[in-house]
Amino acid sequence: MTTTDVVAPRRKGAFFLLGAQWGRYVSQILGIVVLARLVGPADFGIVALGASLAGLAAVLGDFGLSMAALRAPSLDGRQRTNLFWMNAGIGGLAAALVVAIAHPFAAVFDDDRLVTVLLLLAPAFLLRSASAQFRVELNRSGRLGRLAVAELTGDLSGLTVAVIVALFGGGYLALALQGTLAAAVTLVLALVLTPWHPGLPRRGAEMRGLLTFGGNTFLVHALNYASTNVGTLMIARTATDQVIGYFNRATQLVNLPIDQLITPLTRVVIPHLADAPGPAEVGARLSRFQTVLCYPAFAYLSLFVATARPAIEVVLGPAWADAAAFVPVLAVAAVFQTLGYPQYWAFVSTGRSLILLASEAVGRVAMIALAVALSFQGPMAVAFAIAAGQILLWAAAAVVFLPRTGVRSSVLVRAALAPVAVFGAAWATATLADAAFFTPLDPLARLSCTAGVWAIVVSALIPLLARRDLRLIAATIRRR
């Protein structure tokens, strides 16, 4: 019987994965730019509405089993086989659920296009679930290059087909097809590139610990899904498809770069924390990862908020300009979400799934309740509810729940102070300069001037406030 142990990713493999993840980010940005000029905001809105419901199937299809498998110190052949069949079975049920609710969901919003959208989205959940354990196996065995190839090729394939369909006037059909095609290509490549292949389900394997951790993680992800998508659903109650499209694009532009950092970092961080000798060392390692995460994430957020309207007009076109109104509020939520990821890593790496669930429940339930309560005040009120929920989520974890893992919250807070100061000052200065001098300019000139002020401030403050952090980041990069 073969057993795989967690292999902490070596520097070369980790860099390859991070590089490929940024390749995925570039491809997604190109997709946003190209598809935004081929497909209108209303079509984006209807697909976003369908995806907000179908996303629950994605959470259900994984059931937390991929994270349970990733953090397990070792897995034998029977466990891996059983996890594969569980993922595939649950993914099949999730896809069937999406198909079953397509017509009722379309009837609620009185739009028959939602039936087609959900039918096109449904197969993706089975395909992603079926590939989950192959991707975990590549991660655990240190074959991060192969994992990166499978995921990047899948994204590029889905984007290529979507652009072709959009060029022929496919509209929302192009957007709905993109994810399913990407999932299909990723599954095929993961199957080919993974040396391990599952057999038939086996009895006698120790599954209880994996299922317990996976179940708790599933509940966390379900809460995350509900709080993330409640904004789209609530806005749909009172606004047009076009406004939904603005909100969806603003959310994606704010969060996409951070998501591209989090996915590979999580795959690197969790194995790296697994061999830490105690809570103090877990905290020290998390502090380094907090610093590595905050600088690129906060740099992007501060620059994007300062230049939101001209940037969106230049990148997506004038038809999308009104999406800029949502950016500052959603960016506040993204800042606290970024600060919360090391807390999440601490809970997962120490096996505290129940504490993680309790911590997430506090902020996520509040976020959902606020979004529902404020939805009749308009779309911007929903955005404020999401930001308030993220702040509460971070604060509850820092004050109440994280100390129960033995990791001190003050260590993580200190790691974030310098990047907050640098990029907060750069955002404030660039925003004031834009309002005072650059607003009358055409979008490209306004974007260039405001971004130039931002770059000058960052260049001046980095040597003063962040020299130690830069040395720490360099040392972390050099460390295996």
The pLDDT tens digits for 62-77 are 666 676 666 666 767 7
Please check the confidence at residue 375 and state whether its pLDDT lies above 90: no
| Res. 146 pLDDT band, cuts 50 70 90 | confident
N residues, the chain = 480
Residues 181 and 253 both lie in one domain: no
CA atoms of 371 and 55, how far apart (whole Å): 18
Query: Higher-confidence residue: 231 or 391?
Result: 391
Q: Where are the alpha helices (DSSP H) in 316-378?
A: 327-349, 353-374
Residue 346 one-letter amino acid? A
Residues 268 and 351 both lie in one domain: yes
Residue 202: the pLDDT is 73
| Res. 17 pLDDT band, cuts 50 70 90 | low
Is residue 202 within 8 A of residue 211, CB to CB? The reply is no
Is residue 127 within 8 A of residue 62, CB to CB? The reply is no
Residues 75 and 15 both lie in one domain: yes
Residue 306: the pLDDT is 94
Is residue 410 within 8 A of residue 285, CB to CB? The reply is no
Residues 181 and 263 both lie in one domain: no
Residue 448: the pLDDT is 94
Residues 294 and 350 both lie in one domain: yes
In a domain, residue 234? The reply is: no
| Res. 346 pLDDT band, cuts 50 70 90 | confident
In a domain, residue 227? The reply is: no
Average pLDDT, the chain: 81
CA atoms of 92 and 200, how far apart (whole Å): 17
In a domain, residue 163? The reply is: yes
Residues 150 and 276 both lie in one domain: no
Please check the confidence at residue 3 and state whether its pLDDT lies above 60: no
Please check the confidence at residue 452 and state whether its pLDDT lies above 90: yes
Mean pLDDT on 11-21: 56
**3-state helix, strand and coil shares in percent for the chain, rounded to the nearest 5:** 85, 0, 10
Residues 265 and 181 both lie in one domain: no
Residues 136 and 40 both lie in one domain: yes
The structural domain count of the chain equals 2
Is residue 75 within 8 A of residue 3, CB to CB? The reply is yes
Q: Which of 48-57, 290-299, 304-313 has the highest mean pLDDT?
A: 304-313
Domain that holds residue 196: 1-206
Residue 56: the pLDDT is 62
Residues 81 and 135 both lie in one domain: yes
Residues 46 and 140 both lie in one domain: yes
Given 189, 206, 223, the domain boundary residue is: 206
In a domain, residue 226? The reply is: no
CA atoms of 213 and 206, how far apart (whole Å): 13
In a domain, residue 225? The reply is: no
Is residue 389 within 8 A of residue 364, CB to CB? The reply is yes
Mean pLDDT on 338-355: 84
Residues 105 and 244 both lie in one domain: no
- Local structure of 4: helix, strand or coil: strand
In a domain, residue 34? The reply is: yes
Please check the confidence at residue 318 and state whether its pLDDT lies above 60: yes
Query: How many C-beta atoms surround the C-beta of residue 346 within 10 A?
Result: 28
Residue 473: the pLDDT is 73
Residue 14: the pLDDT is 54
Residue 59: the pLDDT is 61
In angstroms and rounded to an integer, the radius of gyration of the C-alpha atoms of the chain is: 22
In a domain, residue 229? The reply is: no
Residues 182 and 245 both lie in one domain: no
| Res. 4 pLDDT band, cuts 50 70 90 | low
Nearest to 62 by CA among 213, 281, 279: 213
Q: Which residues contact 199 (CB under 8 A, 6 or more apart)?
A: 77, 81
In a domain, residue 454? The reply is: yes
Please check the confidence at residue 1 and state whether its pLDDT lies above 80: no
| Res. 311 pLDDT band, cuts 50 70 90 | very high
Q: Which of 11-15, 36-40, 156-160 has the highest mean pLDDT?
A: 156-160
